[in-house]
């Protein structure tokens, strides 16, 4: 189960990276949409456009959404890792601690 967990975590991470690359590659194929935003949000996007020297407000909004998506994926991955470690039996935790102590004494910190 332990090895499968890490395989599953890395598989999900690889999938997320592939998905992000696909999204980045598809930026040339954009969909035109119209949204109604508050004046405060529009002002924020325009300020960000100037500060980032972005080509457009749409580009800024797209960057913000991508960053939020990456953050969400990272949070899901962190939650999966935490859930796994929380589910480990005490015997496995003790064994992992012994391996950690062994590694600290036998491998350099460089």
How does pLDDT run along the chain (110 residues), one tens digit per residue?
555 656 676 677 777 666 666 655 555 688 899 999 999 999 999 999 999 999 999 999 999 999 999 999 999 999 999 998 899 899 998 998 999 889 888 887 66
Q: What is the DSSP letter of 26?
A: G
* Rounded Cα–Cα distance for residues 59 and 45 (Å): 10
Closest residue by Cα to residue 69 from 12, 6, 23, 27: 23
By CB atoms closer than 10 A (0-12, 13-18, 19+), residue 60 is: buried
């Amino acid at each position: 189960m332990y090895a499968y967990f890490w395989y599953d975590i890395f598989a999900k991470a690889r999938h997320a990276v592939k998905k992000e690359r696909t999204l980045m590659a598809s930026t040339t194929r954009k969909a035109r949409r119209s949204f109604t935003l508050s004046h405060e949000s529009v002002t924020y996007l325009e300020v960000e456009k100037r500060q980032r020297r972005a080509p457009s407000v749409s580009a800024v909004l797209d960057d913000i959404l991508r960053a939020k998506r990456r953050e969400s994926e990272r949070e899901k991955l962190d939650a999966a890792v935490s859930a796994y470690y929380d589910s480990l039996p005490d015997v496995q935790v003790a064994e992992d601690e012994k391996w950690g102590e062994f590694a600290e004494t036998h491998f350099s910190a460089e």
